[in-house]
Structure 1
Amino acid sequence: MASWDPQQYNRFAEERARPFRELVARIPTTGAVAVVDLGCGPGTMTATLAERWPDAAILGIDSSPQMIAAATELQSPQLRFQLGDAGQWRPQRGSVDVIVANASLQWVDDHETLLPAWAAGLDDGGTLAFQVPIASYDPGFGQVAGRPRWAPLLGGALEAIGPRSATPVLEAPEYVRLLGAAGLTVDAWETTYYHVLPGDDPVFEWFKGTGLRPYLDALSPDDAEAFAAEVREELRIRYPREPFGTILPFPRLFVVGHRA
């Protein structure tokens, strides 16, 4: 299991928050009493759901003990967090008003089975909303991981992560069909953010808090340092620094399924 770092994740808190806000803004459900955020991370965005649904009991679930430890500092009578695997979570039929999975489903397999099970948990008027990197997105470090030096060392980690070509993320029309068959009305769209990041090696620092963690954690400290150096070099080529900062194109797929 990757050792996620809440502080590293929050270095780009505003940029990470924007897709979450735009996803939640498209949720049509009103008057929710049960809201679940799957892959809640450090809980900062989960807490904003209390503003949208002030009468709801809100539960954040994440598989990282480090993230949940940070999130529990935000707990309140309305808001609670627990350690858990989103891929194993199953709601009772009709028991949830809103399910949110923001930038977490790319780590979870078998969407074809999982999402209909989540959809079945929605009450009338409920919504399932998620956003993920588009299936073809490759920021560059996967290519480094496949080099002869690293592929044997990463071994099981690469097998667990899967190459980007083997991402569990589906194409948008597949989600429309999948959730439509589950009885939901589906709104799906793609957006590419062009984040302008400050500082040295900012793209490396961005992914160090997310997608790079399983790779780095699979290596010894010395190998991790050498691997990180190669990734930095590759990312500098792909995303050159300019006078105003470094541009990171960040393509995302959004899906909102509503049970009328």
Structure 2
Amino acid sequence: MNGQTQHDWDPGTYHRFRGQRLRPALDLLSRVGPLPKGCVVDLGCGAGDVGSALRTRFGTSQAGALIGVDRSPAMLEQARAQAIYDRVIEADIADWTPDAPAALIFSNASLHWTGDHQTLLPRLVATLVPGGTLAVQVPHQNNAPSHRLWRTLADELCPGRLAEVALPSVLVPAQYFHLLETLGEVRLWETEYFQKLPPSDEGHPVRRFTEATYARPILQSMPDRERDRLVRAYDELIPKAYPMSADGSALFPFRRLFFTLVRAGYDAPAL
């Protein structure tokens, strides 16, 4: 997470849908191949939800440490408590550089909170050892009703408010491919997850899911009265796009973009 200290992430709110958020991370991890020696970095580690899987997969085979990096103090407190990482570092992804070249930089649902990917991604690749892997997953949902409705309603109910808000965003897939193709072997894909969100006594399930992530900076920019008005309007309109089942649950298609890059220059040992 690339959260701001003054409006830190709420681990409890974020983890309300922990299973749905963890699945893409595990799918990304399954696409990471053998690594050279070096540290493994969980970039934007949040509360450390993927740390155990990274430790299981690479902890006994890598010479380097398992390192968690995040800007959110609240999330890092939980990551430290898990005692999975060898080191946990509070840092902004936009500025962070490893102390030594990494075998894997694994970034699950965090880079969309950081801008200037045209500069950031080549810089991250340059910190890999030859043959090291950059593995990234970002939501690709901004044009879906779940996200678009937040922006539309904020513009209608609070004109000018979004001008003050930095919303998460990503490039189109082809831009990532052309940005990275000269730096190593690139693989790029999308998956749309059809998630059944459980019922909630406090609003539509899709609102509850998105308010903890995409809509978080929008809601935090508003005084209570404006925020409550926006939430009520969202709850009223969002069932048209995502109808609820009889039990109050909702089927929520969510698209995510994945890519891996294996840095050029590594000669695998002969078998």
TM normalised by structure 1 equals 0.88
- Displacement of 1:32 after TM fit? 4.4
Of Structure 1 and Structure 2, which has the larger fraction of its residues in helix? Answer: 1
Q: Does the alignment pair 1:248 with 2:252?
A: yes
> 1: distance between equivalents of 2:105 and 2:22?
17
- How many matched pairs? 249
**Corresponding residue of 2:190:** 190
CA offset digits 1:70-92 (Å, max 9, x no partner): 2121135x433222111112346
Amino acid of the structure 2 residue aligned with 1:146 = D
**By how many angstroms is 1:241 displaced?**
0.2
1:48 partner letter: A
Q: Secondary structure at the match of 2:254?
A: strand
- Classify the secondary structure of the residue corresponding to 2:33: coil
Q: Which runs of 5+ in 2 are unaligned?
A: 267-271
What's the CA shift for 1:53? 0.7
Residue 31 of structure 1, CA deviation? 5.4
Is the 1:6–1:42 contact (alpha carbons within 8 Å) kept by the matching residues of 2? yes
Kindly provide the amino acid, as one letter, of the partner of residue 170 in structure 1.
Answer: L
Q: Distance in 1 between matches of 2:207 and 2:19?
A: 17
Percent of pairs with identical residues: 34
Which residue identity lines up with residue 256 of structure 1 in the other structure? T
Shift, 1:243, TM fit:
3.1
Residues 80-107 of structure 1 deviation map (CA, whole Å, 9 limit, x = unaligned): 3222111112346x71000011111111
| Contact 1:36/1:100 (<8 A) preserved | yes
Distance 1:151 1:72, change over 3 A: farther
Q: Does 1:88 pair with 2:91?
A: no
TM-score normalized by structure 2? 0.85
User: Equivalent of 2:128, from 97, 114, 122?
Assistant: 122
Q: Deviations over 1:32-51 (max 9, x none)?
A: 43011111111121232110
Contact 1:135 1:170 (C-alpha < 8 Å) held by counterparts: no
Aligned to 1:73: 81
Q: 1:101-124 CA distances to partner (integer Å, 9 max, x unpaired)?
A: 111111111111110010011112
Paired residues of 2:40 and 2:65 also in contact (CA < 8 A): yes
Which of 39, 45, 63 in structure 1 is aligned with 2:44?
Answer: 39
Aligned residue in 2 for 1:172: 173
**Counterpart for residue 22 of structure 2:** 17
